Chain A
Amino acid sequence: MMKTNNVILETATKVIVFIILLFSVYMFFAGHYEPGGGFIGGLMASGAIVLLLIAYDIKTVTTILPFDFKKVTAVGLLFAAGTAAGGLLFDKPMLTHWFTYVNPPLLGKMSLHTAVLFDIGVFLVVVGVTMTIIQTIGESE
């Protein structure tokens, strides 16, 4: 990718990326009740990274985020498939989810849900796939 030299963009990106990333995490967890979820969260996170790419260059981003995004994809798939197969251990059909309610102090009533694990898988796959695509294309030539 072209090396850009844009001070305003670079400075703004430093702040905005964190805001977007934080927002993407919020969106991810909100997903079960409000608009959001693994797809949107994942896409937003990758959007943040794409912004980084545009502001800096691909080498900088690889040093900031030294992940192999193909592995992120694989871990995500494993998460989703593992959660799906988890029901089989309890003699339930595949993809049977389980949930319960807990009352931790300070946070109030909340539910614990295995569907979140599945959604984490979706999140990771979306981030992994998007970044693999962008990085691969960006790095060629």
Chain B
Amino acid sequence: MSLLHLAIISPLILAIFIPFVHKTFPKIHTGWFLLPLPVLLFAYFLSFLSTTINGQTTMETLAWIPTLGINFTVRLDGLGLLFAMLITGIGALVVLYSIYYLSKEKEKLNQFYVYLLLFMGAMLGVVLSDNLIVLYAFWELTSFSSFLLIGYWNHRERSRYGAQKSMLITVFGGLSMLGGIILLYLMTGTFSISEAIVLADVIVNHELFTAALLCFLLGAFTKSAQFPFHIWLPDAMEAPTPVSAYLHSATMVKAGIYLVARLTPIFALSGLWIWLVAGIGILTLFWGSFNAVKHTDLKGILAYSTISQLGLIMSLLGLGAASLHYSTIDAGFYTVAVSAAVFHLLNHATFKGSLFMMVGIVDHETGTRDIRNLGGLMTIMPITFTIAIIGAFSMAGLPPFNGFLSKEMFFTGMLRAQEIGFFNMGTLGILFPIIAWVASVFTFIYSMIIVFKTFTGKFQPEKLKVKPHEAPLGLLISPVILVSLVVIIGLFPNLVAPLINTVMASILPGMEFDVHIYHWHGFNTELFMTIGVILAGILLYKFMPKWTGVYTRMPERFSFNSAYDNGLAAIQKGANRFTNAYMTNSIRTYLIYIFAFFIFTLGTTLIVKNAFTLDTSNVASIHAFEVVLVVIIAVGSISILFAKSRMTTIILLGAVGYSVSLFYAIFRAPDLALTQLVIETVSVALFLLVFYHLPKVSRHEETRQFKMGNAIISVGVGVVVTMIALSAHSGKAFDSISQYYIENTYKKAAGENMVNVILVDFRGFDTLFEIAVLAIAALGIFSLIKLRLTRGKEQ
């Protein structure tokens, strides 16, 4: 295990200790014990920065299930490093923020931080694993920890609803991704991503290629909340705000982006990939930004804004993938889309993270997030207002912040879509810049709503639960750091250019890049588009009441949310009805299912497969007293059916049991004979003891029909068992393995009684578990009788 492996699982290890630490030091906020870890990890990953930028890839392997080609291989390249630094860097800021956000008296901090660490480790695992199966395992773990974090305030109905929704949708995507992984394995014979990339040209014409592609994209789209799977993200906002800032804007929802970026070299040779990724991305961009405007909850606006920004990055990745179809020289024309995607990914994490934290502060200090109740906070919370302005203006794409730069690059990428000379891009490609422009106008509008509806306008203290004031320093540190990054990257974008270069090398392998980000491109189309966005945005913002009626035109009934709710209800109802149809709560019915299945499968197999054989050559001799015993057992077992009293039943059962033990003696099984004899004695005593408390054996007025049904089934079982017994004796498929025991009983175990040696030595495990079962049965009996008595006394 290398240090890199340790870095990935270190959050999981720390998670084990959190509950103990929480209990031991209740006076200290648990977050403080957590904080050093992401800081250290961030520093650790930062140390890889220079070597990775020089094109070096670090790879470490830990054998897990080598026979199946599943190894815990860690591969640290540019893409992985960028994500790892985002996860640990934002993670550290979020933990710091949460220390001031979550009260140590009121909240179950031990649970919260365990979930958070679980997520951090899982997310690191996703972005650093080279093996797809390992990636999948970590992927599901992120869904799982996200579920726990959304449902953290589990006394709220909305929290539980949101948690379930996100779980169902992302796990559905995760499962289809697993299908994709298996299909990819069938095509390439490897679970390793880096090995599969080498085979990309070979598999593109494989018949399973399209299926694998769709499966992977389903996984990526559900995780990254792409249209129409975006519906889970707004409901995920029920999570505490630090979680929303971390999982649902900066890291987890970008796992889908990561997957698409990582798999681009494998799948991008297909036109379907480019169309789907770019098309769904641009659709999500529009739909998210359009819907964000109608919301009044600040977190709701941010959720839809996140959806739309994720769509933006997704569409850029899709268009940029087209460059893989061109020779190196022409490709540079299209790679700008990918560099925009990477750049915007980084920028989005900074400005959206800070905006979420800003909303958290507003919520924390005023008690509401509804913009209808907020307003005029500018003078009361000046620092928060500054954070909001920088974050929102960057999101709207205004200079001089980093969002402006990536938005310009985004327009460039979209404009060049028309130049792509295949897959109908030439004709339909014109749609990309148009939709992008419209979506950007809406982005501008909701960015303005976030700032101006909250901080300007009329201050309404009567609508607030608490008296607002500026947030404490601790809450402000993290967002201030993030907005400083927004400004710094905005002013000196080329600080991050080498990193973007390296990340692009992972997405588009084998190409040369020289990313250089300019503030001023001259008066080109992109600049005019931005100016147009600002003008149109301001106009629409001013006259908002005039046109927001369009939102009410869309009936709630036809939304994706109601489709999800109705679908879920229908599935539950159907499952209930189906289960109730055969689960009748009658033991007899269940037994009939079992016996009928037994007769049907074994009987038909015996006949269809011609398995029934009868061989009378190799049989043991029959003595007269053996016949007597057979008759006793047969008559005894049949007469139990007609026994009227309990005593007769016990005596008959005992007679059968003792005769069976005699059979054991005849058949050279002295151990069995002895055991059966003693067991039978103890059992009879037991039956007598219990029957003392029980009613008479009654038939409960069984009808003729009832009896006939029973008779048919039991005769069927008897016949099938007889046939099996005969065939088992007659046909020997292979030699008995008993010779081994006969030979080695003395040699290896120094015993002479083979049965006993098998029990205590050769197959001791069976015996160990057997006595464990016995002990459990005894405990069950004890608790059934004794524990009830004590409870009765209490009442």
Contacts and interface: CB of A to CB of B under 8 A. Distances in A.
Q: Per the CB under 8 Å rule, do A and B touch in the complex? A: yes
Interface of A: 1, 27, 31-40, 43-44, 46-47, 50, 54, 70, 73-74, 76-77, 80-81, 84, 94-95, 97, 99, 101, 111, 113, 115, 118-119, 121-122, 125-126, 128-130, 132-134, 136-141
B627 interface: no
A99 B750 contact: yes
Interface in B669-712: 670-671, 674-675, 678-679, 681-682, 685-686, 689-690, 693
13 contacts: A27-B674, A38-B759, A38-B760, A40-B671, A84-B765, A111-B750, A130-B682, A132-B779, A133-B781, A134-B685, A136-B781, A139-B785, A140-B786
Contacts of A74: 775
A50 to B, nearest CB: 5
Nearest to B788: A140
B678 A44 contact: yes
Interface stretch (B423-431, B559-567, B607-615, B766-774): B766-774
B778 A128 contact: yes
B764 interface: yes
Contacts of B678: 40, 43-44, 47
Nearest to A50: B685
A97 B674 CA distance: 26
Contact of A136 (B674, B681, B785): B785
A31 B768 contact: no
Contacts of B674: 27, 35-36, 40
B752 interface: yes
Contact of A132 (B755, B760, B764, B778): B778
A54 B692 CA distance: 14
Nearest to B764: A95
Nearest to A113: B750
Contacts of B765: 84, 94-95
A10 B683 CA distance: 22
Contact of A122 (B670, B671, B767): B767
B775 A137 contact: no
- Size bracket of the B interface: 35 or more
Contacts of B679: 43
Contact of A70 (B671, B753, B761, B778): B778
Contacts of A138: 689
B760 A129 contact: no
A132 B673 CA distance: 24
Contacts of A43: 675, 678-679, 682
Contacts of B781: 132-133, 136-137
B103 interface: no
A70 B779 contact: yes
Nearest to B786: A136
Contact of A47 (B681, B777, B782): B681
A128 B670 CA distance: 24
B749 interface: yes
A47 B682 contact: yes
A80 B775 CA distance: 12
A33 B751 contact: yes
Contacts of A37: 671, 753, 755-756, 759-760
Contacts of B755: 37
B688 to A, nearest CB: 9
Contacts of A73: 774-775, 778
A46 B767 contact: no
Contacts of B785: 136-137, 139-140
A105 to B, nearest CB: 21
Which 5 residue pairs are nearest across A and B when measured between Cβ atoms?
A: A35-B670, A43-B678, A125-B771, A37-B756, A33-B752
A46 B54 CA distance: 78
Contacts of B757: 32, 115
B319 to A, nearest CB: 59
Nearest to A135: B782
A72 to B, nearest CB: 10
Nearest to B745: A32
A119 to B, nearest CB: 5
A60 B177 CA distance: 68
Residue among A99, A128, A133, A139 with the highest chain B CB neighbour number at 10 A: A133
A81 B774 CA distance: 14
Contacts of A137: 686, 689-690, 781, 785
A84 B764 contact: yes
Given A34-B752, A37-B759, 14 more contacts: A31-B756, A32-B752, A35-B670, A35-B753, A36-B671, A38-B760, A44-B678, A46-B682, A73-B775, A81-B768, A95-B764, A101-B750, A132-B782, A136-B786
A77 to B, nearest CB: 6
Contact of A80 (B670, B675, B771): B771
Contact of B749 (A97, A121, A128): A97
Contacts of B779: 70, 132
B768 A95 contact: yes
Contacts of A141: 693
A31 B778 CA distance: 25
Contacts of B768: 80-81, 84, 95
Contacts of B777: 129, 133
Contacts of A99: 749-750
B775 A118 contact: no
B685 A125 contact: no
Contacts of A34: 752-753
B789 interface: yes
Contact of B774 (A32, A94, A125): A125
A141 B792 CA distance: 13
A36 B775 contact: no
B775 A129 contact: yes
A36 B675 CA distance: 9
